[in-house]
Structure 1
Amino acid sequence: MTSWVVKIGKETPEHWGFARDDRLWDVRRPGFFGRIEPGDDVYFWLAKTGLVSWVRATTSLYPIGPHSRPARWVDNHLGQYTHRFEFEVISDDVPHLAVWEELRTAGGKKYAAQSPANEITEPNAELFLRAQFGKQSDVAFVDVPVSYTPGADMRERAERQITLRRGQARFRNRLIIAYAGKCAVTGSTVTSVLEAAHIDRYYGDHTNHVTNRLLLRSDIHTLFDLRLLTVSDATTVLLAPWLRNSEYKPLHGKTLQLPDSSTAHPDTHALARHRESCEWA
């Protein structure tokens, strides 16, 4: 994966606040942005100030359509944005405001300060960027409203619940990278509906490991949690008998799509425990 430094114009410092809340970034011309992939680290840099955030892309760049969520940018280019990528926040805790020359020195390269995006492939530069941040966020939203009051923004509440459902940001991102952005069962590449599913139930940090998770499309995650779908010892998908004549029928007997790296493969003992907990299996 590649890292990127994306510039926010000094005239519009409020754009980071809009981006953080909406978890998206719009551009007028694809350019380098067209090479951003899910799992890439993106560092937002406010011109004449320094780093303001570290995020991780959850989508590639895609065209903004008539039904896309409206953005809240406030500049002379409003209406000219053509493409977008989405992200999850890793950290916006910046104890030290680095200057551009420090990044150039760390990477040994003359990155273009005036460019909207700089590709960072030099290991020392990547280490430098990460070192500028303090506390990392596992989940973008911690407090989820549990009651509704007239006038409440239900879209915001739904988005917060979805964020929690998807799983801790850093572990979900690791899975997206490990599984090449594809659901392990269906092969779906729609990042917005991919979730980090625990195999063994979550009992604390010791169960919070990539090998105890599968990257699953949201509906498959639900079936997995309800013990209506499991995985055989030959890593093929098993459906509850009453689902084998449903729209999920093609998935029964399908081979699980595993990561290229064996160190990220799901734990076979955890899968066995999940399978044994399915009474029909």
Structure 2
Amino acid sequence: MTITDHEFVDLPTPTGPMRTHVFRPAALGRYPGILLFSEIFQVTGPIRRTAALLAGNGFVVAAPEIYHEYEPAGTALAYDSAGADRGNELKTTKSVEAYDADARAVLQYLASHPASTGKLGVMGICIGGHLAFRAAMNPGVLATTCFYATDIHKRSLGAGMNDNSLDRIPEIQGELLMIWGRQDPHVPLEGRLKIHAALEAAGTFFQWHEFNAAHAFIRDEGPRYNPVLAQQCYGLAIELYKRRLGEGDVFVTAAETHH
């Protein structure tokens, strides 16, 4: 499916305008919406390609810059030690309340987007996995994919490093897809078991998949990339979104059928 991938909007939030990148099918019609949360490096090439993959499967995708209060609009941090240091510094500078407000702003934008059906899903990677986990607590979020979500088990997201994500699991009403790498030092077995037990105790509707892979194994840049597993995982996510959000309403003209 041909997509449009150069749009952006600056959404108002309590902490200032948030640059949000929009990827969507080019064909006229209405499609389900997906909020895509990035890694600590913001909207990099690999994140844009993930967004394009989702859009090409028939979704309107909005990827916000998670550190919009601290970095100029359009900033993507480099995949190097300096970029990692800056991203990790900001991770615990920004408040959990500000992260949550950002999620609500993007979900409201997607719900009212003229190319959206109003059916909403979320996806997140690394810190974005944790942000997606929290975004799933919003009413109307039907399906959420979390790739190796960091810091849930440690309760260490945001300023003060004392988040309440585990406590709020009962607020998640949609379906979760939790994906982990068994060789990921950021979320060891003890941490994964803690999250799994909390989901079970809350009666959450969720899938749980662990792979023999390192942290960042779906990022198509760098030595930890595992393309075979990445393809499998994207397949799981797209199946979830198609099943829970629907296909959308695509308007195909006679002229388009000849291309």
Using structure 1 for the length normalisation, give the TM-score.
0.24
Q: Which has the larger radius of gyration?
A: 1
Choose between structure 1 and 2: higher strand proportion: 2
Instruction: Give the TM-score, by structure 2 length.
Output: 0.25
Higher relative contact order (CA 8 A, sep 6+): 2
